[in-house]
Structure 1
């Protein structure tokens, strides 16, 4: 569906022509006046409602996100956040406050990493929760492409992962999902669930883009224990399996390095 038709369906008035924005590998994204309109070619059922739930969940926990104006299976309409200056110290405060929050239990509604569907799950011991909800679906989907690495991935989660307590997570926190708005840092495109903050930290470290000053301030506000640092490669395996699934065997080298560092 084109952006103007989607706005009309949402009952919102278009102000100005659609201007394409960068939308990554999944969605087509336009700015139309004060709105951002997202659509995708044959999106999997539930993709945009899951993104809207994640944005609202983060907003309810004090994180700046674009407001959700309308959501349907066809797409999503958000508020446009005017760009502002990079403020990494403020972002460190936002994420440290988010990760310090404690929820009643580990919990995930059915959702997505990219367009890959992930099951819902609630409660239980953290290592089993993370492995069964996040890793095993991707491991099954990529097993034939892993060139013998599958059993090594399985073995990683026979040892317990460190548990600081259930915290709300963005779930796909690479640099491209951080937006520095005029009002301050905002987060985009979440794969929200309640887990251990190491999941977010691992993705932030995997491809870089977060400068030293961010890590200095975050570490002062919420120090990262050594056992969490050591666990980051096991969390990165989750994201690297997703990259093998979406982009192919070119990520097997990075996957092997993460396994070796675990």
Structure 2
């Protein structure tokens, strides 16, 4: 479906021609005046509804997110957020407040990391929850391409991960899913679930990561225990397995490095 047709499906009127925006590797994204239209050819069933649920969940916790105007299996229509100045202290405050929240149990609805489907799960021990919900499905999908690293990955999760308490997570917090707006930082394209904050912190350290201005402010608001710091490479394995799945063996070196640092 074309972006103008999807906007019409949503009952909204286009204001100008579609302007392509960067949408990562998983979607085609266009701006049409005050709207952003997201499409993905061959998207799995439930892909866009899961993103809309994640945005709604983060918004309910006080995180700035774009408004969802319409969602369907065909795509998603969002509010366009204009660009504003970088404010890493404000981002640190927003994430520290999110990560300090405590829920009754670990939980995840069926969702996606990129377009990779992840099962729903609720409750139980954190290490078991994280392995079965996040690691095991990706491990099964990539085993034949891991060049013998599969058993090393499995062994990482025989040792318990540190547990501070169930916290709401963005779930895919790389720099491309952050936008600074005139009203402050906003988060995009979540893979939302309730887990341990180390999952978000680990992704924020990969692929160039976030600047020291953010980390100084975040640590001042919510110090990171040494045990959580040591666990970050094990959480990074989750994202590196996804990159092996989507993009191939070029990420095996990064996966080996994370395993060795664990």
- Partner Cα distance (2:147, 2:211) in 1: 34
Aligned to 2:66: 66
TM-score by length of 1: 0.99
- Partner Cα distance (1:235, 1:19) in 2: 36
SS at match of 1:117: strand
SS at match of 2:241: helix
Aligned to 1:47: 47
Alignment pair present for 1:210 and 2:220: no
- Partner Cα distance (1:217, 1:183) in 2: 19
Shift in Å at residue 209 of structure 1? 3.5
Aligned to 1:164: 164
Shift in Å at residue 105 of structure 1? 0.7
Aligned to 2:145: 145
Aligned to 2:10: 10
Shift in Å at residue 182 of structure 1? 1.3
Shift in Å at residue 69 of structure 1? 0.4
- Partner Cα distance (1:193, 1:28) in 2: 24
Unpaired runs of at least 5, structure 2 = none
- Partner Cα distance (1:182, 1:73) in 2: 31
TM-score by length of 2: 0.99
SS at match of 1:105: coil
Aligned to 2:192: 192
State the Cα deviation string for residues 146-177 of structure 1 (Å, max 9, x = none). 01000000000000000000000000000111
SS at match of 2:90: helix
Flag as ranges the 4+ runs of structure 1 deviating above 2 A: none
SS at match of 1:76: strand
Aligned to 2:87: 87
SS at match of 1:180: strand
Shift in Å at residue 16 of structure 1? 1.4
SS at match of 1:199: helix
- Partner Cα distance (2:80, 2:131) in 1: 36
State the Cα deviation string for residues 77-130 of structure 1 (Å, max 9, x = none). 000111100101100000000000011110000000000000000000000000
- The total of aligned residue pairs comes to 262
Q: RMSD over aligned Cα, in angstroms?
A: 0.6
- Partner Cα distance (2:209, 2:230) in 1: 20
Aligned to 2:75: 75
- Partner Cα distance (2:147, 2:40) in 1: 32
Aligned to 1:30: 30
State the Cα deviation string for residues 10-32 of structure 1 (Å, max 9, x = none). 11111111111111101110000
Aligned to 2:243: 243
Unpaired runs of at least 5, structure 1 = none
Alignment pair present for 1:127 and 2:162: no
SS at match of 2:223: coil
Aligned to 1:232: 232
SS at match of 2:250: helix
SS at match of 1:112: strand
